[in-house]
Amino acid sequence: MGARIIDGKAIAAEIRQELKQQVEEMRDRHGVVPGLVTILVGQNPASVSYVTAKQKTAHELGFYSVQEDLPEDVSEEELLSMVDRYNNDPKIHGILVQLPLPKHINEKKVLNAINPDKDVDCFHPVNIGRLVIGGEEVRFLPCTPAGIQELIIRSGFETSGAEVVVVGRSNIVGKPIAIMLLQKGKGANATVTVVHTGTKDIPSHCRRADILIVAAGVPEFVKGDWIKPGACVIDVGVNRVGEKKSEKTGRMVPILKGDVEFETAKEVAGAITPVPGGVGPMTITMLMRNTVRAAEYTIKG
Ligand code: NAP
């Protein structure tokens, strides 16, 4: 039997609808409109398209949004002073500096200069510390891991008591999702194993997983026979493996593959995310959710 496809686009649309309502309520009751600034340095085509998509979504949700375009050769000092200006701007609740930054700028220094209460990407060490402590300490969740957690919950899989295996230990996906799922609480409380290049016999770990999360950045790394029958498989990978002509526009578009061999995995898994259309659409939605939360904190104090 084929796996159920977890439709990230549909789940993201559902969450955006909920956020839109929250934004309206916040504006009507408290006169507060969530504000997001996206700061882009240079014109890297991938970064331009990410920032455009973030701005478009912010606009659709009724945010106050600002796009800052800085030249490739902007100095670190100028960028830091822009961050500082938005740290002190009460209309802005979320600051996003699009990565990667040019080599002459110290990325860590810039990210650490963002006020942690406006750090909607959740990269600041203060917010990572809060995430590790868990519970009421947590202000924001990092966007891709938050999207993964929502996909699992909203597609009906129980995390409490589940064996979760995470492939990959990056700071933006593997480590934070592992921490989030091992916390005590709803949508978590799992037994988590993280595997990486130092792990012996990765397939044997994967085969134990009720929920398998793969973020390795290696196309089709996980095969169908590594998957426990009926498991929930979340494929985070987005790998460009070539180009093809789009049937719609006639233009060349990238061919994308996930980190899971979809054709063999879907025969064994209970549910699986496609690539594209799985985790991808959730990431921007979670950025918007963090911005709404940041605005809420200014009301609650
Ligand atoms: P990353 O920083 O390159 O980390 C990859 C991790 O996988 C590392 O921990 C690495 O282990 C592990 N790994 C790589 N090859 C392995 C192998 N052969 N055996 C075992 N472990 C292996 O990647 P990332 O930033 O986490 O991203 C992972 C994938 O998710 C990429 O395809 C990326 O494009 C995609 N992604 C998608 C979204 C989205 O919104 N859809 C967001 C972020 C990332 P070591 O630590 O031992 O080197």
pLDDT tens per residue across span 199-251: 999 999 999 999 999 999 999 999 999 999 999 999 999 999 999 999 999 99
Confidence of residue 301 (pLDDT cuts 50, 70, 90): confident
For the four alpha carbons of 192, 196, 198 and 204, in that order, the dihedral sign comes to: positive
pLDDT, tens only, 80-130: 999 999 999 999 999 999 999 999 999 999 999 999 999 999 999 999 999
Residue 1's pLDDT is what?
A: 61
pLDDT, tens only, 143-170: 999 999 999 999 999 999 999 999 999 9
Pocket of ligand 1 (CB under 6 A): 144, 168-170, 172-174, 196-198, 202, 215-218, 236-239, 279-280, 283
Question: CB neighbours of 37 closer than 8 A, spacing ≥ 6?
Answer: 65, 66, 67, 68, 86, 89, 92, 94, 95, 96
Q: Which SS3 state, helix, strand or coil, does residue 235 take? A: strand
Q: What number does the ligand 1 atom closest to the CA of 258 have?
A: 32
Catalytically active residues are 54, 98, 121
pLDDT, tens only, 39-51: 999 999 999 999 9
